[in-house]
Amino acid sequence: MDAKTISFPSSAQAAPAAASDNTQKPKPCCVCKDEKSKRDECMLFSKASDPAADCKSFVEQYKSCMLGFGYKV
C-alpha cells in the first residue's frame, strides 16, 4: 500500500463539524426544566424513607428527556 493513497481528514475539516454540534446542542441547564422541577420537588418533599424509590418515575422521565437532547444522566 502506497502512503500517498491514504488520506486523513485535516483538523480544519473536522473542527467545523464539532463546533456546529456544540452550537446546535442546548446547554443541559436549559432543557427539561419541567421534568427537573418535578424530580427535585419530589426528592425534597418526599415523606418516604427512600425518596429515590418514591420518585423513580420522575427521575426516569428526566433521564429520558435529557437523553433526547443527547445527555446521559
The three cell numbers of residue 4 are 500517498
Give the CA dihedral 46, 51, 56, 62, nearest 10 degrees: 70
Confidence (pLDDT) at 24: 84
29 a known binding residue? yes
Confidence (pLDDT) at 11: 47
65 a known binding residue? no
d(CA 21, CA 69): 12
d(CA 34, CA 71): 16
pTM above 0.85, yes or no: no
d(CA 29, CA 13): 30
The three cell numbers of residue 63 are 433521564
With a cut of 50, list the residues of the chain below it in pLDDT: 10-16, 19
The domain limits of the chain are 27-73
